[in-house]
């Protein structure tokens, strides 16, 4: 189903030919992100992602955008904790030029002082914007609570201080250190030839200077007691984020972990949605998410809650978590969650872009890509008892962390701390 080639310079190319498509989604992935930084250079990976669009050795800023968008394509990038991806979706006949543009951006960026000074202002405003959005800021507070003084506990965009001190020399040094061929994956899905993309990658990578792949600071995934963090802000709604340490991405129980998330809060049929919103009307929005990294994870519950009902809402959430630890889920609930999981994967893999993200992320993070058939076979072995076992492993009361942004009163803070066992 998937074809993979490792070049002599250790660059990896992974593809999936999707017959009947007229598009190709192409991504150049680098195994570097926010957790490869420190307090001083926090935000460098994200800053570099921005600056690579400002021009390269062979393409100006305007040419990068116009040559891809001018044929109906789309171009973008994102930075995560453990990788950065530059990608485009284009009509298949424009693969060669699109690859040349993306690869030139990635390996031959200009990184001029003028562009760095200008983009610094943009990123500083981005940081301020997210700080002013309580639904985003509460996640920052939670991650800082869970991974204090660690890169995972710092915003990917950086701080006003770290970004304010960023220079073109510093960004060039970060680029040299991390944008290495052995740290790169070229992933593509759609109407394509694997051999042709390998040839394109081989030719371009001969122009790239070699560098040694860098490591990141390991993260802890345990704590001795619950923790809380409150930020008082005069707004119309309380925003809460409850986080616990999740499973790492290649954990043997990864599918049971995903099913636990679906049952608890991944859709409108979930327990949290039904208990908190439908039955009690305590929140407009509530959801959970199961995030996995190389050595740790985050199981997250987030909600926007009526100011006067924040204590009741947290109490209900904690009781839902306690219940799934005590009792096996029902047969119908388990079946619905498993079918939803399968269906979501099937729907995502129909699209060339989502499919490229699938194989690119997996190859970058784990150096392997599981087929849909493999996943479905693994999923058949998961039981309701496995979900309960993982719930007991992940949803430990001592590992719970609660962050809230809103107009909290002293009495509410005390009651919330007592509920969490952090009083």
pLDDT in tens, 326-375: 999 999 999 999 999 999 999 999 999 999 999 999 999 999 999 999 99
Same domain? 252 vs 196 = no
The DSSP code for 307 is G
Helix residue ranges per DSSP H, 212-330: 254-265, 271-272, 310-326
Same domain? 61 vs 157 = yes
Please write the tens of the pLDDT for every residue from 81-111. 999 999 999 999 999 999 999 999 999 999 9
- The residue written with tokens 């872009």 in the block is 353
Last residue of a domain, one of 144, 172, 205: 205
Output the CA torsion 334→340→341→347 (10° steps).
170
Query: Strand pairing of 184-190 and 23-30?
Result: antiparallel
Q: What is the pLDDT of residue 269?
A: 95
CATH number for the domain including 258?
3.30.830.10
Active site residues per annotation: 49
What is d(CA 91, CA 26) in angstroms, rounded to the nearest whole number?
11
Q: What is the pLDDT of residue 207?
A: 76
Asked whether residue 41 is domain-assigned, the answer is yes
The residue among 13, 21, 5 whose CA lies nearest residue 349 is 21
Same domain? 87 vs 181 = yes
Same domain? 84 vs 129 = yes
Same domain? 384 vs 242 = yes
Q: What is the pLDDT of residue 15?
A: 98
Q: Which residues of the chain have pLDDT under 70?
A: 423
Helix (H) or strand (E) holding 390: helix 384-394
Rg (C-alpha) for the chain, rounded Å, is 23
* pTM score above 0.85: yes
Same domain? 298 vs 357 = yes
Which residues, including other chains, have CB under 8 Å from residue 265's CB and lie 6 or more apart?
271, 272, 273, 286, 287, 288, 289, 301
Same domain? 237 vs 188 = no
Same domain? 245 vs 191 = no
Asked whether residue 210 is domain-assigned, the answer is no
Asked whether residue 175 is domain-assigned, the answer is yes
Phi-psi domain of 67 (left: phi exceeds 0; alpha: psi -120 through 50; beta: other): alpha
Residues 227 and 296 sit within 8 Å (Cβ to Cβ): no
Per DSSP, the three-state class of 305 is: strand
CA 202 to chain centre: 29
Distances from the Cα of 398 to the Cαs of 199, 212, 392, 393, in angstroms?
53, 39, 12, 11
Asked whether residue 220 is domain-assigned, the answer is no
Q: What is the pLDDT of residue 1?
A: 82
> How many domains does the structure of the chain reveal?
2
The residue among 11, 10, 40 whose CA lies nearest residue 174 is 40
Same domain? 143 vs 89 = yes
Q: How many residues does the chain have?
A: 423
Q: What is the pLDDT of residue 208?
A: 79
Q: What is the pLDDT of residue 75?
A: 97
- What range does the domain containing 270 cover? 227-420
């Amino acid at each position: 189903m998937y074809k993979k080639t490792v070049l002599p310079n250790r660059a990896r190319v992974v593809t999936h030919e999707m017959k009947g498509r007229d598009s190709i989604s192409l991504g150049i992935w680098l195994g570097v992100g926010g957790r490869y930084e420190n307090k001083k250079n926090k935000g460098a990976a994200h800053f570099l992602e921005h600056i690579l669009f400002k021009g390269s050795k062979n393409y100006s800023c305007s040419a990068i955008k116009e040559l891809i968008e001018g044929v109906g394509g789309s171009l973008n990038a994102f930075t995560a904790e453990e990788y950065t991806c530059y990608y485009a979706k284009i009509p298949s006949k424009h693969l060669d030029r699109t690859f040349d543009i993306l690869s030139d951006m990635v390996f031959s960026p200009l990184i001029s002082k003028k562009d760095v000074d200008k983009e610094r202002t943009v990123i500083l405003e981005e940081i301020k914007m997210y700080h002013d959005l309580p639904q985003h800021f509460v996640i920052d507070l939670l991650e800082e609570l869970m991974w204090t003084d660690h890169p995972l506990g710092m915003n990917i965009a950086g701080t006003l201080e770290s970004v304010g001190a960023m220079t073109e020399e510093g960004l060039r040094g970060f680029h040299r250190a991390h944008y290495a061929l052995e740290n790169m994956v070229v992933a593509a899905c759609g109407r394509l030839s694997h051999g042709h993309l390998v040839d394109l990658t081989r030719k371009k990578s001969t122009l790239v200077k070699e560098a040694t792949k860098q490591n990141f600071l390991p993260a802890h995934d345990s704590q001795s007691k619950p923790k809380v963090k409150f930020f008082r802000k005069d707004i119309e709604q309380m925003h809460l984020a409850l986080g616990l340490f999740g499973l790492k991405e290649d954990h043997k129980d990864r599918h049971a972990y995903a099913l636990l998330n679906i049952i608890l809060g991944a859709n409108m049929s979930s327990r949290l949605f039904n208990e908190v919103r439908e039955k009690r009307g305590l929140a407009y929005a509530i959801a959970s998410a199961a995030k996995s990294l190389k050595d740790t994870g985050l199981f997250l519950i987030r909600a926007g809650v009526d100011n006067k009902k924040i204590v009741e809402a947290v109490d209900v959430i904690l009781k839902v978590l306690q219940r799934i630890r005590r009792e096996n889920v029902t047969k119908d609930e388990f079946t619905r969650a498993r079918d939803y999981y399968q269906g979501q994967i099937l729907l995502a893999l129909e699209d060339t872009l989502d499919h490229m993200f699938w194989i690119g992320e997996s190859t970058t993070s784990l150096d392997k890509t599981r087929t849909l058939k493999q996943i479905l076979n693994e999923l058949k072995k998961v039981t309701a008892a496995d979900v309960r076992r993982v719930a007991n492993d992940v949803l430990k009361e001592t590992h719970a962390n609660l962050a809230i942004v809103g107009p909290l009163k002293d009495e509410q803070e005390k009651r919330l701390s007592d509920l969490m066992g952090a009083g």
